[in-house]
Amino acid sequence: MKAIGEIFRLFFYTGWKRQCLVLLAMLLGVAAENLSIASLWPIVGVASGEGITPSPATEVVTRLLDTVGLSPTLGALLLFLCITITLKFTLSSAGLVYVGREVARMSTHMRLRLIEAIVRARWSHIISTPAGRLSAALSDEAERAQAAYRASGNFAARLTETVTYLIGCLWISWEFSVAAIVAAAILWLAVARFVAMARRAGRAKWRSVHLLSSAVNDLLTSIKSLRAMNRQAYLGRFASAQVDALRKASMREYYSEAAVRALQEPLLGSMVIGGFYVGYTYFNLGLVELIGVVWLLRRISNGVSAMRGGMQRVAVDGVAFWSIIRLTDDMNAQAEALHGGKEAHLLKQCDFRDVSFGYGDKTVVTSANFALPVGEVATLIGPSGAGKTTIADLLVGLHEPDAGQVLIDGLPLADIDLARWRSKIGYIPQENILFNDTVLDNITLGDQTIGEEQAIEALRLAGAWGFVSALPRGLHEVIGVRGNLLSGGQKQRLSIARALIHKPELLILDEATSALDRETAREICDAVRGLRGNRTILAITHQSIWMDAADRVLRMDQGRVTTEPA
């Protein structure tokens, strides 16, 4: 019963009104089929010349005909049979079609909810969640969740059908109905062990897929450096272990499904043959009643079989459904507070006043006090791991200080509208994030409000228009996966153009030229320096060329920031 409760919890997770309409359609469809079976009694009686034998089933049929002013003639009975068969098909098909539509809607809705939750989540929470976990949730898990939801809908529909068929048996004999229920229970319990096996296999498969996704993500991220040292075997061994675990879980899943299919056919046959024998020997049922009995038993056994299949599918894939729900709820619980306060205008300077910040017990920034005046180029230097990027994250509002304040023209960052503040920032990371799309879409990010003239202006400012205009299709040239059709310097110039296209008031470069050769880095440094005036520029770097270009130099060491002469 716990497993059935879990199925209905899954089926009704997205609501109950439309789901109840589906079940009502299935219920009415099966009721129509029961009426078509009931019409066999008077049809056989009229056709054989023996007349209509009184029974609960024939009484229902004759009353319905009498309601519409028809006598129980052979023609009227055959018309009634056709109508009920058509009605059953229409209603049941409508229910199943709606289940399919709801499955597609649910799958799309789950993915969109998760993406929206990830976008809204706090930065510290996003970076603490394995990337493989997120990618698996949006791909493999979403597909398995869809399969589980479809199975739960089919289970609910088949359960409705089976219960209605059992009620139909009451028209023939209540004793036989009891026997049918017992037979259905035996059929149900016969494969319970294999469903439990499928549930365990589903959990093991879920764990293996997650670990494998993380391993593949790590492998793709570090494959170049590992291959350069011939050390790629480590991640290969780890991934192989997860593939083997996935293989074993999949084998258990397939074995349980095969065992259920192998058992069901002889059990179904035994149920039908047994029902025929019991009905003829102990309940003195006539030929017409026996035909109805066999038909209903077959439908009941098919329903039980389909319900078991649905339960098995939910046991295997339901873990993925609830995993996505938990991940989405977790991300929503960590939603970033964007304040929605005043709009900040960077007209004078940004200030850090006694700002301290740490990750857990580790202090990264200690009582930082410095200013970034408008129109200047400030260079933040210091050893690796000193917390330079954390300073940028605090300025952008990705982290909140544990103590002190970050001020924008005297307004505390905690009191301003963070979304609008970030729209005034251009951010250029060390690693280029480019897409397999055109130059135009890479720098506008698909924003239809930005025209080609604005894009060309941004490219000119970034020193990129020269090579872009020389491309065969110019702005509309596709630059390949991660921009691999461009050189390192060209990719970085596109990143700068992307940061400049919305005319930011603050430009942040986080080790933006560290992966480039000195000459290319100097060219980009000169291009950025030419942007100062109305823009404030913060360059986080190890390179001396940025110190030479700076109006002020900030040094960070052991969590403290000091100002040095430029």
User: What pLDDT is attached to residue 212?
Assistant: 65
Cα(287)–Cα(285) distance, integer angstroms = 7
| Number of neighbours of residue 93 by Cβ within 10 angstroms | 12
| 163 and 225, same domain (yes or no) | yes
In a domain, 557, yes or no: yes
Distances (CA, A) of 166 to 161, 301, 455: 9, 11, 70
> In 360-502, which ranges are E strands?
362-373, 377-381, 403-408, 411-412, 425-428
Residue 59 to residue 39: CA distance in whole angstroms: 10
Count Cα neighbours of 336 within 13 Å in the Cβ-side half-sphere: 22
Tokens of 9: 């919890």
Counts for the chain of helices (H) and strands (E), in that order: 20, 10
From the number of C-beta atoms within 10 Å of its C-beta (0-12, 13-18, 19+), residue 215 rates as: buried
Q: Which of 247, 258, 143, 241 is nearest to 204 (CA)?
A: 247
- Pairing of β 552-557 and β 377-381: parallel
Residue 249 in domain: yes
183 contacts 198 by C-beta, under 8 angstroms: no
Same domain, residue pair 531 and 451: yes
- How far apart (Å, rounded) are the C-alpha atoms in residues 94 and 18? 12
305 and 361 belong to one structural domain: no
Final residue before a domain boundary, out of 280, 298, 333: 333
Asked whether residue 124 is assigned to any structural domain, the reply reads: yes
188, exposed or middle or buried, with CB in 10 Å at 0-12, 13-18, 19+?
Answer: middle
Describe the crossing of helices 192-228 and 174-190 by its angle, rounded to 10 degrees. 30
Count CB neighbours of 482 within 10 A: 14
Round to whole Å and give the CA distance between 541 and 381.
6
Domain at 163, CATH number: 1.20.1560.10
Cα–Cα distance for residue pair 327/115, rounded to 1 Å: 11
pLDDT for the residue numbered 335: 84
Whether residue 264 sits in one domain with residue 412:
no
Is there a single domain that holds both residue 111 and residue 61?
Answer: yes
Return d(Cα 58, Cα 432) in angstroms, integer: 77
Task: Report the distance separating Cα 462 and Cα 503, nearest Å.
Answer: 12
Give me the domain span that covers residue 323.
2-333
Residue 341 in any domain: the answer is: no
Residues 356, 328 share a domain: no
Question: Largest Cα–Cα distance of the chain, in whole Å?
Answer: 115
Beta partners for 562? 555
Torsions phi, psi of 515, nearest 5?
Answer: -95, 5
| SS3 at position 408 | strand
Distances 172 to 25, 497, 531 between C-alpha atoms, Å: 24, 80, 89
Total domains, the chain: 2
φ and ψ of 375, to 5 deg:
85, 0
C-alpha span between 231 and 481 (Å, rounded) = 25
Tens place of pLDDT per residue across the chain (566 aa): 666 777 778 888 877 777 787 777 777 777 777 777 777 667 766 766 656 666 666 777 778 778 888 887 888 888 888 888 888 788 777 777 777 777 777 778 888 888 888 888 888 888 778 777 787 788 778 888 888 888 888 888 788 777 777 776 666 666 666 666 776 677 667 666 666 666 666 666 666 666 666 666 666 565 555 555 555 565 566 566 666 766 676 676 666 666 666 666 666 667 667 766 776 777 666 666 666 666 767 777 777 777 777 777 787 788 888 888 988 999 898 888 776 778 888 888 899 999 999 887 888 889 889 999 888 888 898 887 788 888 989 998 888 899 999 999 989 988 888 888 888 888 888 777 788 888 888 888 888 888 889 989 888 888 888 888 998 888 898 888 878 888 888 888 888 888 888 888 898 988 877 766 777 777 777 777 777 776 888 988 877 777 777 888 888 888 888 887 66
Residues 301/184, Cβ–Cβ less than 8 Å: yes
* CATH number of 530's domain: 3.40.50.300
Radius of gyration in angstroms for the set of CA atoms belonging to the chain, rounded to a whole number = 35
Q: Is residue 343 included in any domain, yes or no?
A: no
> Is residue 172 in some structural domain?
yes
Do 439 and 326 fall into the same domain?
A: no
Q: Do 312 and 354 belong to one domain?
A: no
Are 275 and 379 found together in one domain? no
* 342 inside domain: no
> What is the distance between the alpha carbons of residues 330 and 129, in angstroms, rounded to a whole number?
11
* One domain, residues 308 and 364: no
Amino acid at 314: V
DSSP per-residue codes, 497-562: HHHHTT--SEEEEESTTTTS-HHHHHHHHHHHHTTBTTBEEEEE-S-HHHHHH-SEEEEEETTEEE
Same domain, 477 and 505: yes
Q: Output the pLDDT for position 12.
A: 81
- How far is 435 from 422, CA to CA, in rounded Å? 22
Give the pairing of strands 349-359 and 362-373.
antiparallel
Three-state SS annotation for 234-266: HHHHHHHHHHHHHHHHHHHHHHHHHHHHHHHHH
The verdict on 369 and 285 lying in the same domain is no
Give domain status of residue 344, yes or no: no
